[in-house]
Amino acid sequence: MGAGTPGLKPDRMITAAEPASILPLRLEDVGYAVGGKSLLSGISLRIEAGRRLMVMGANGAGKSLFLRLCHGLIDPTQGRRIWANGETRAETQAMVFQRPVLLRRSVAGNLEYPLALKGVSRAARRNAVSDTLERFGLGHMADRPARLLSGGEQQRLALARAWLMRPQVLFLDEPSSSLDPSATRAIETMIRHFSEDGITIVMSTHDLGQARRLGEDVVFLHRGGLMEHQRAVDFFAGPRTREARAFLAGDLLW
């Protein structure tokens, strides 16, 4: 995050040196195939810093795969993925999954874990964790086993854990698809706060209302290909492709 990022107090800083910006992320003619079957192909785009990008498309369009490929969980079998700082898998990014994977330990333990991975000292870990617990309203359940939280609480913890990673970009794969409306609203509020803190958001959703509420930009995928990449207002006002029009109209295209 840049030096001028709002909402960051110096005492929360864990590393002394600010890492160089990893954005924009460029994909150049990226494709991904498994066993000769092409799942993503010919995708070229730039993901700009500081924006909220919605990844849209029907089930099976390749949204999850696209996020995993950007995040670096899988590597393109064709084309190139280039971070602005030249790394192949940048460290200052995080991802929240559709179903949060929490470790079998306490809420606080789950937050401490990624910091321990990074070699953060015990004292610094403790401070960072207690700040995060307060910020995300998890303080009263710090010692509860993470696996026994409700779905909404689990996703909130997953977001808190992601935030603790100090990401420049946060990928979210359908983060509220299994949550009730009030938990969904809480998650959306948190995502806005992340965005206000300067964190770039790349999020897949099949919920049009959510995409309208949160989106600044939209990527529309169809059968593993990039159909549209434009500003959200323009996309919802008048999609350029037949597939996107049908998608917004609620038609099944397949």
Partner 1 sequence: MMQIIGLSLRVTLTAVVIACVIGLPLGAVLALARFPGRGAVVVLSNALMGLPPVVAGLVVYLMLSRSGPLGSLSLLFTPGAMIIAQTLLILPIVISLTRSVLEDLWAEYHEQLRSLGASRLRAVPTLLWDGRVSLLTGVLAGFGRASAEVGAVLVVGGNIADHTRTMTTAITLETNRGNLGLAVALGIVLLTLTLMLNAAAWGAGQWARGRLG
Residues in contact with partner 1 by the rule CB under 8 A: 68, 71, 73, 91, 94-95, 97, 101-106, 113-114, 117-118, 145-148, 161, 165
In this structure, what token pair is assigned to residue 104? 């079998």
Q: Give the residue with the Cβ less far from partner 1, 67 or 186.
A: 67
Q: Give the residue with the Cβ less far from partner 1, 117 or 237.
A: 117
Q: Give the residue with the Cβ less far from partner 1, 101 or 237.
A: 101
Q: Burial code of 165-196, b = ≥16 C-beta within 10 A, e = fewer?
A: bbbbbbbbbbbbeebeeebbebbeebbeebbe
Alpha carbon 252 to chain centroid distance? 27
For residues 95, 99, 103, 106, the Cα torsion angle rounded to the nearest 10 degrees is 100
Instruction: Report in angstroms how near the CB of residue 123 gets to partner 1 at its nearest.
Output: 21
103 in Cβ contact with 112 (< 8 Å): no
Instruction: Report in angstroms how near the CB of residue 13 gets to partner 1 at its nearest.
Output: 18
Instruction: Report in angstroms how near the CB of residue 108 gets to partner 1 at its nearest.
Output: 12
Which residues, 6 or more positions from 245, have their beta carbon under 8 angstroms from its beta carbon? Answer: 239
33: nearest Cα among 88, 90, 79: 79
Instruction: Report in angstroms how near the CB of residue 194 gets to partner 1 at its nearest.
Output: 16
Instruction: Report in angstroms how near the CB of residue 107 gets to partner 1 at its nearest.
Output: 10
Instruction: Report in angstroms how near the CB of residue 254 gets to partner 1 at its nearest.
Output: 27
Q: What's the CA gap between 141 and 154, in Å, rounded?
A: 11
Q: Give the residue with the Cβ less far from partner 1, 75 or 180.
A: 75
Q: Give the residue with the Cβ less far from partner 1, 97 or 236.
A: 97
139: nearest Cα among 122, 150, 153: 153
Q: Give the residue with the Cβ less far from partner 1, 106 or 177.
A: 106
